[in-house]
Structure 1
Amino acid sequence: MSNICIEAGVSRASYYRSPQAAEIKRRLDEPQTARPELEDLRHQVSQLKKTERALRSEHAAQIRELKQTIKTYANQIQALTLRVAQLEHDNEQTDRVNDNATPLSTRRRTANVEAGSLRHPASTNAPPRSQLARNDSQTTVEHETPLE
């Protein structure tokens, strides 16, 4: 009886006080009550152990695969970081070589002032960029001013 109480998570004292105690005892004492045989239980235990081993093996394989993926990502991140550093270095060298270069926005302002126009380049009659980007067979955009 104590094993049944342990499986049910009930103390033996509570079991004996319950109204179902007599019915449970009667059913267990009946000879036709099917009870698992020792060999069946051993077989079930061995099956559960095999299943556990298979699950542990599968889990270990997943962990190995994930660790390999982490290593691959780390290598890719390192390569990309080195490439970014190289590009930054190249940009710095280009900036040093082209110190006399004028940025495009300054060129526009300078060109407008030299041409006698004091208007800002954005205030021209040019259509918005959203219209310029569409260039399919159904859309034709005519421009009055040249694109810069």
Structure 2
Amino acid sequence: MTVTWQILRFTLVGAVNTGTYYALYILLGLRLPYLAAHVLAFALSMIGSFFLTTYFTYRTRPTWRKFLLFPLTNAANFTITTAGVYILVDLLSINPTYAPLIAAASAIPITFLLSRTIMLGPDTTRTRESLTETVASK
């Protein structure tokens, strides 16, 4: 699979993940402050994003190593979007309903490069066991 197809698939997964995140953000925002809603929605949507990124974007198996490293690859995304939401809402007085969408756009290139490194990096013999095989065998 070429990098171009990976970018297209990554973009599609990102759109689905953003929609999931945003729906959760809006729902959670009915009861929580906007930053708490952002953090919780981000964490929940990341799990779904991991499996979509693994199976659909890079067509690879999910492993425990990738699962454990995936949140680290999103640390840049989290930092950029959280700072962006804060800056847009508190400093620029942008409506908190739209701020996460604007902030998320700036994190896309960094997230792609980091997730590609994790998903396509070499697995060691010890980490080749996939999550699905582990769960199925129990």
Q: Same fold (TM over 0.5)?
A: no
* Higher helix fraction (1 or 2): 2
Using the size of structure 1 for normalisation, the TM-score is 0.20
Which structure has the larger Rg over C-alpha atoms?
A: 1
Using the size of structure 2 for normalisation, the TM-score is 0.21
